[in-house]
Amino acid sequence: MTNPPPRHRPRKRFGQNFLRDAAVIDRIADAVHARAAQHLVEIGPGQGALTGALAASGCRLDVIELDRDLVPGLLAAFSVYPRFRLHSQDVLTFDFAALARAGQTLRVVGNLPYNIATPLIFRLLDHTALLQDMHFMLQREVVERLAAAPGGKNWGRLGIMAQHLCAVEHLFDVPPEAFYPPPRVHSAVVRLTPYRASPWPHCDRARLRRVVQAAFAQRRKTLRNNLKGLIDDASLASLGIDPGARAETLELAKFIELANRIDD
Ligand code: SAM
């Protein structure tokens, strides 16, 4: 813990838990491994804990920060880097496509405010063609759901919708003491790398979303019950799926087959 507690008063409504553990900051920077030829986007730079390591690589760096009070400090610290640009706005309305217009894919990094993490990830999953990869610090439980395997309680909508587009790696866990103020939950760092060539080229995402939402609507119920109206027992059986099984036992490939079988 080498960084002193920050002077800015952390705001709960912006999910401000600032990283203060230099070893954790280095570990994230190593995992990202930014290069001068790349274009990085940092979400919620806060007081710049990660920003310094990213900017020092010489990469093109756009940062998006909602809290206006943090803007002067960020500009003072990082305007010296000619390829640094700050966007003082809400990332949930940010136009990633406009940023990637030059044809270069983006690398997205962020120690995310926990309240926006899931909607933001779903939003970015709509733009995977623009993205080289994403590194996020999240609540550990969310990382466990993103990287889950079939058969357990963590396997569900978030993991399936992420894993059909991206390779997901749970990199390492981070304890509450690494932050100021310490959050109530444990955190973890995850890497999402969109597939350039999809393992499932024939999958309609809207249908997959419908099937997954229905299949997990009531986790304790059988697929037969949850998928009533979308697909019948005979069709399930023809896909090799036991209608009496629960959604959490089905692997991703089976959800894709299901999505390809239902009507629009
Ligand atoms: N990156 C810094 C660090 O690791 O110390 C700060 C991380 S803190 C968990 C989250 C940051 O995201 C804060 O700076 C907060 O103001 C910012 N933030 C919160 N909601 C945001 C939003 N909707 N759009 C952009 N930034 C946001």
Whether residue 212 sits in one domain with residue 144: no
**Residues lining ligand 1, judged by CB closer than 6 Å?**
14-19, 43-47, 49-50, 64-67, 70, 90-92, 111, 113, 116
Whether residue 162 sits in one domain with residue 37: yes
- Tell me the CA–centroid distance for residue 112 and ligand 1, in Å: 6
Question: Is 6 contained in some domain?
Answer: no
Whether residue 135 sits in one domain with residue 56: yes
Nearest CA residue ID for atom 14, ligand 1: 46
Question: In the sheet where 131-139 sits, what is the strand order?
Answer: 84-87, 60-64, 39-43, 106-111, 131-139, 187-194, 166-174
pLDDT value at residue 5:
46
Per-residue pLDDT tens for 73-107? 999 999 999 999 999 999 999 999 999 877 789 99
Whether residue 100 sits in one domain with residue 60: yes
Whether residue 218 sits in one domain with residue 137: no
Please check whether residue 50 is in contact with residue 18, taking contact to mean a CB–CB distance below 8 angstroms: no
Domain total for the chain?
A: 2
Nearest CA residue ID for atom 18, ligand 1: 44
pLDDT value at residue 178:
98
Rounded Cα distance, 18 and 74, in Å: 14
Residue 6 has pLDDT above 60, yes or no: no
Please check whether residue 189 is in contact with residue 134, taking contact to mean a CB–CB distance below 8 angstroms: no
Question: Is 29 contained in some domain?
Answer: yes
CA atoms within a 13 Å half-sphere pointing along the CA-CB vector of 66: 16
Whether residue 155 sits in one domain with residue 50: yes
Whether residue 251 sits in one domain with residue 131: no
Whether residue 243 sits in one domain with residue 142: no
Question: Is 255 contained in some domain?
Answer: yes
Strands 60-64 and 39-43: parallel
Stronger pLDDT, 1 or 120, i.e. the higher one: 120
Domain boundary among 173, 194, 215: 194
pLDDT value at residue 199:
86
Per-residue pLDDT tens for 207-216? 999 999 999 9
pLDDT value at residue 1:
58
What are the CA-CA distances from residue 156 to residues 127, 145, 148, 188 (Å)?
Answer: 21, 7, 8, 19
Rounded Cα distance, 149 and 146, in Å: 9
Which of 2, 9, 13, 14 is the best mutation target for the ligand 1 pocket, counting ligand atoms within 8 Å of the beta carbon and taking the most?
A: 14
Residue 4 has pLDDT above 70, yes or no: no
* Domain containing residue 102: CATH number: 3.40.50.150
Question: Is 179 contained in some domain?
Answer: yes
Q: Output the pTM of the full model.
A: 0.94
Question: Is 1 contained in some domain?
Answer: no
- Tell me the CA–centroid distance for residue 68 and ligand 1, in Å: 11
Domain boundary among 194, 217, 247: 194
Residue 13 has pLDDT above 60, yes or no: yes
Rounded Cα distance, 160 and 212, in Å: 8
Domain that holds residue 176: 12-194
Question: Is 116 contained in some domain?
Answer: yes
